[in-house]
Amino acid sequence: ASQPTSSLMSATIATPTPLQLQIRVAPEAPRTRWRATTCRARPASLPDAQVVTGRKGVSEYVEAAQQLTRWPDGGPPRWFSPLECGGAGGRISGAPTLLYLPGIDGVGLGLIRHHEALAKIFVLWCLHIPVKDRTSFEGLVEYVERTVKLESSRAPDRPVYLVGESIGACIALAGAARNRDTDLVLILVNPGTSFHKSKLQSLSAFLDLIPEPFHLNSPEFLNFLTENFMQMLLTFIGRGTYLEEGGQALSEFLVDVLPRETIVWKLQMLRIASSFVNSRLHAVRAQTLVLASGYDVLLPSREEAQRLQSMLENCRVRHFRDNGHTILLEGGFDIVTTIKGAEYYRRSSQTDFIADYLPPTPSELKKILDSFGILNFANLVMLSTLPDGKIVRGLAGLPEEGPVVLVGYHMLMALELVPLVAGVLSSTGINLRGLGHPFLFNKYSEQLLPESSLFDVCRILGAVPVTTFNFYKLLSEKHFVLLYPGGAREVLHRKGEEYKLFWPEQPEFVRMASRFGAKIIPFGVVGEDDICDVLLDYNDLLKLPFYDIMDKKLNKDSVKLRADCTGEIQNQPIHPMVVLPKVPGRFYFIFGKPIETRGREMELTEKENAQHMYLHVKSEVENCIKYLKEKREEDPYRSILPRLLYQAVHGHNAEIPTFEL
C-alpha cells in the first residue's frame, strides 16, 4: 500500500560574492515525489534538481528541515537521499551503501555538512522520522533491518554502512546484533547506550513540570539540550547569516520539531533502546568505529566509547576532545577524513589497502601540514638527480610514471615522513605509498597510545602494512612505493646513531622491483639533529623502574619483523622516545639518480647479482646523506632567524634559497 509522500526543496544559488553566499528558494515548481513504504529503501525517482554548495550552515539546515517536516501528520519513517547525492556522477565505482540513522531530533539531516563528500564514496540514504511518528524502537530496528537486507542482497560482496547518532547508534547496534552474518560497518556517534548514566535520564523525570511556552524558546534549555547552543552556532553558522538570525531560525525550528510530547516519547524510547542494546552487545560482530566527543555534556560519550571498545570484538575509537554532542554539525570535523584515517573504508568483504585507498584531498593535505607546526618551520630543501647525474632543486628528477621504489634512510621518529610524502604530493601529484610497520595498523596498539588517532595521518597519506603481497600489488599497479629497509630500528635508534643505516643483509626488494621493471631511487634526508636531541633511548628506558611492564605490553603480541635476520636489524622493539626539542633547523632531501631494472629481470634473479645491486643502492643512500651533511654547512639559511628575516622581506610564501648546487 502506498504511504504518504514527501518532497525536498528545489533551490538555486546566486553567484557568490567574496564575502557572502546568498541562498534563495526557487519559485514553486513541480516537486520530486518520494514514495516511502515499510519495505522500500529508495525513492520512486531521483531528484532532477541539484543544490550546489560548499559546507552548509544554519540557513540551509533549517530550510531543508522545514521541507521535511512541513506536513502536519508527517506519515511513517522513510528514507530520502539529499539532492546533492541524487546522481552517480563523480561517485567512485562500486561504492557501498551508507544509511544514516538520526539522533533524537529524527529529521535525518545530521550529515548535511558532509553530504557532498560522502556522496562521492557512498550511496547515501538518510532516515527521516516525522515529528508525530510514534513507531517503537523495535519497529524502527525492523524497518532498518529490512533495508539492510535489501541492500545486502543487492550487492552481497559489499558492506552496508550504518552511521548512527545517539539513539540512531542504538538502532545500528541492535540491527547488527540481530544480523550477525550480514557484512556491516557501524559508525557510532556519541552512542546513546550510556543513557542510564546521562543527564538525559534526569531530564525525562522533570520535563512534564516545564511550561510549554518556556520549554524550547529559552537559551537555557537549548544549552541543556545541545550542551552549548551558542558554540554550536559559531561553528555551524553559514556565510551571509548573522549569528542572531541563525540562532533565531534554529531555535524556532527546534520548537516545531521537538515539542514536549515528542521529547518525552524520544527519551522513553532512548531508555528502552539503551537497555535493549546493552543486553545484546555480546552478539555484535560488525566492524565498529565509535566517535566520542570530549565536550558532550548530554552523554558520557568518552567513557562510553572505552566501555564499548572493551565489549565489542571488532571496535576502534576516535576521541574529539573539543567537540560537543552535535559533532556532525560542528565545523572542523570531517567524517570522511575520520573514516579514511581509521582505515574503515572498503568496497568489498575485506579491506583492500590498495584498491580501497582514497588519496587525501587538498583540504586534508593542508590540515595535515598545519598540524605539524614545528616541521613547517624546517623549510624543506628538496633536491633530485636527473638521469644524466645533474642535481637540481625541486623534483624534476623523479620519473613521471611508475612503478618506482624509493629507498632511503628513516629519520628519528619518522620526522621526515609527513614533509616528504606531503611535499611530493603537493609538488608533483605523486602519492607515495609507504610500506609501514604492522604496529601502525593494529587496533590493540591504538589502546596503548596517548591518542588513538596518532597514526591516522600515515594511513591518510597512503601507508599500507609491509607484506610481500602489498609490495607486489603496488608495483603491479605501477605505484610509487616508499620503502625503508631499516624500519623501526632506524626510526627508534639509540643515542649517537643518527644517519646510520640498519639494513638487513638480504636483498629484499631488488628481485621484486626487477620483476616489474621498476626504477629504484635511493634518497637521503638530514635534519633530525637540528630538530631535537635524544634524552632517553631504549637502553635508558630499560633501566627505569616498572618500564618492563610497558615493554611487554608494547612488544609481547606485536608482529616480529626481521626475526630471521642477524645483527642489530633483528632488534626492533617498539618503545617511546624521550627527546629535547631544539630551535628548528632545516630539513634537506635529495633523491639520487634513478637505477633501472627494466631489461635486467633475468640478470637480477641471480642471488649474487641481486646482492650487488642491493649493496649499490645502500651505498648510494649513504652517499646522499653524506652529500647533504656536507652541503648544509654552506647553507646561509640553515638557522631559523635568517629564514624568518628573508620571509619578512620577500613574503611568507617566498622560496628560501639554500646552498649552491
Kindly tell me the burial class for residue 52, based on how many C-beta atoms sit within 10 Å of its own C-beta (0-12, 13-18, 19 or more): exposed
- Read off the DSSP letter of residue 329: G
**Nearest 5°: phi and psi at 336?**
-65, -45
- Residue 231, pLDDT above cutoff 90: no
Direct distance between the N- and C-terminal alpha carbons of the chain, in angstroms, rounded to an integer: 78
In this prediction, residue 7 carries a pLDDT of 34
For range 258-268, the mean pLDDT: 81
Helix (H, G, I), strand (E, B) or coil at 167: helix
All structural domains of the chain: 37-42+52-341 (3.40.50.1820), 378-650 (no CATH)
Q: Quick one: which of 221, 231, 223, 291 has its CA closest to 260?
A: 221
pLDDT digits (tens, 9 = 90+) for 488-517: 999 999 999 999 999 998 888 999 999 999
Instruction: Determine the Cα–Cα distance for residues 83 and 193; give it in Å rounded to an integer.
Output: 32
Cβ atoms of 108 and 126 closer than 8 Å: yes
Instruction: Determine the Cα–Cα distance for residues 453 and 186; give it in Å rounded to an integer.
Output: 18
Which of 18-22, 451-455, 654-658 comes out lowest in average pLDDT? 18-22
Q: Quick one: pLDDT band at residue 400, thresholds 50, 70, 90?
A: very high
- Read off the DSSP letter of residue 378: T
- Residue 531, pLDDT above cutoff 50: yes
In this prediction, residue 320 carries a pLDDT of 94
Helix (H, G, I), strand (E, B) or coil at 99: strand
Q: Quick one: which of 190, 186, 37 has its CA closest to 104?
A: 190
Please state, in angstroms and as integers, the Cα–Cα distance from residue 319 to each residue in 189, 294, 358, 450, following that order: 10, 7, 22, 11
Residue 614, amino acid: Y
Residue indicated by cell numbers 629481470: 601
Q: Quick one: pLDDT band at residue 209, thresholds 50, 70, 90?
A: low
Helix (H, G, I), strand (E, B) or coil at 423: helix
Please compute Rg for the chain using Cα positions: 28
Instruction: Determine the Cα–Cα distance for residues 189 and 209; give it in Å rounded to an integer.
Output: 30
Identify which has the larger pLDDT, 182 or 448.
182
Instruction: Give the DSSP per-residue string, 475-533.
Output: HHTT-EEEE-TTHHHHHT--TT-TT-----SS-TTHHHHHHTT-EEEEEEEE-GGGTEE
Which of 90-104, 132-146, 220-234, 256-270 comes out lowest in average pLDDT? 220-234
pLDDT digits (tens, 9 = 90+) for 513-525: 999 999 999 999 9
Instruction: Give the DSSP per-residue string, 8-51.
Output: ---EEEPPPPSS---EEEPPP-PPPPB---SS--S-SS--S---
Q: Quick one: pLDDT band at residue 131, thresholds 50, 70, 90?
A: confident
Instruction: Determine the Cα–Cα distance for residues 333 and 293; give it in Å rounded to an integer.
Output: 11
Instruction: Determine the Cα–Cα distance for residues 544 and 559; give it in Å rounded to an integer.
Output: 25
CA torsion through residues 415, 421, 424, 425, sign: negative
Question: What's CA 400's distance to the chain center, in Å?
Answer: 28
Cβ atoms of 490 and 622 closer than 8 Å: no
In this prediction, residue 584 carries a pLDDT of 87
Cβ atoms of 646 and 653 closer than 8 Å: no
Instruction: Determine the Cα–Cα distance for residues 309 and 452; give it in Å rounded to an integer.
Output: 12
